[in-house]
Structure formats: C-alpha cells, structure tokens
Amino acid sequence: MIAGCVLVALAASACSSSSGTAVPETSVPSGSSGAPASQSARPTLTDAKLQPPSQDNKYTQSTGRQKVVFDPCTWIGAADIESVGLRSESRRRGPDLVAEYTYLTCIFRNPDNTMSLNVDSGNISWDENLRKNGAWLQSTTVNGRQAGLVRGQPGGEDACQVHMQSKVGVVIVGNLVLSLGKAQNLDPCANIMEIASVVEKSIGKEN
C-alpha cells in the first residue's frame, strides 16, 4: 500500500477528507506569535487553526532527530496551491504525528471534491524511507531534488505519490481519488509531478 496512506503509518492523514478552513492572505515571519521557534524565519500563513504542533516533548527529545522545518499547511501559499487546481480554502491540518519521529500533515481538495491532496513533511531519513518504501519508488527528480514516484501499486490504484528528499528527511505529496472521482475514472497521477514541483518550491532550496 502507498506510503503516506499506509507505508509510513499515516493512513489517516492520506485517506482523510478535507473540511473547508478559511486561510487568510496575511503573513508574518514564522518567529512571530503562533509559529514555532523551530521554523526558520520566513513568511507563513497565520490562521491559528493551521499552526503546527510543538515538536518539543519527551519522545522527540529522546531520539536526537532534527525537527521538521517545512510545514506544508503554513508554508504553501494560496496562489501556489490554487495554480495546480486545488482550493486553498479547503486547507486543513491532518493528524500531525510528533513522537519518536515527526510528520506534519496538510490536506487539500479540488473544487469538485473528486481529489484530495495530502502533503506530509517528516524527519525520517531518505535512507530509512528507501528501506521501507524503496520497492515501490520509481527514481526521479523534482526541480533537481532527489525524489521517487509511487503509482499503480496493488491496493493503491486510487492513489499516487511523490516522495522528495529534504535536509531533515522526506516530504510526501500524495493524490487520492475520492468517491466522485472514482465514478469518473480519474487518474491520481495526472498532475502529480506538477503538484510536487509547486510543493518543492515551497520547501525552499535551503531545506
């Protein structure tokens, strides 16, 4: 089954549906109130409902893993997500995981509710990801960044993903065809590389 849907133990995040959450266009540096100190200083969306959880707890402190820097819910701009056919106002946090390893998750939907996009930003290493998911990853690059494409896996025909390496781990971009989309025989991989390219630019070369 597809990583980010099940391969990285985040089934709920990749398979969740989105409820519309309005996102203001106003932005502030991430060091301002409401944004965690672990993020580098760059503009983020400021809706309180979109802010990532603290990455400081007894579990994260015991592992020595780097904190996740790229938060997809606050770093991906409205114009960027809408440029690939998704509704920025549908943006909502998925079930973030902050434990022995961390995944920050954001979910979007397209206007006709036929497709859901999941973006997971985690701190498992690229090598760990390859050991777990390498059998399913088709090597590729996204804007020069090392990546892997997952498509057509048995049991995951309605999903398509791109895994991208980041400095602290991996970012997983995944399309999931919803019930209305299945009736239209939509291809979850149709624009996955375009979406991955937009997300990659939001990650930033420094990450």
Where does the pLDDT of residue 157 fall: very low under 50, low under 70, confident under 90, or very high at 90 and above?
A: confident
What would you measure as the largest C-alpha separation in the chain, in angstroms?
Answer: 48
CATH domain 1-16+67-207 topology: Protein Transport Mog1p; Chain A (3.40.1000)
**If you average pLDDT over residues 67-74, what whole number do you get?**
96
Query: Model pTM greater than 0.85?
Result: no
pLDDT of residue 179: 95
**Residue 46 near residue 40, CB atoms below 8 Å:** no
Per-residue confidence (pLDDT) for residue 167, from 0 to 100: 96
pLDDT, tens digit, for every residue of 176-202? 999 999 999 999 999 999 999 999 999
Mean pLDDT of 14-39: 36
CB 78 within 8 A of CB 101: no
How many angstroms separate the CA atoms of 86 and 197, rounded? 14
Q: CB of 125 within 8 A of CB of 145?
A: no
pLDDT score of 4 more than 60: no
Number of residues in the chain: 207
Domain residue ranges in the chain:
1-16+67-207
Average pLDDT, the chain: 83
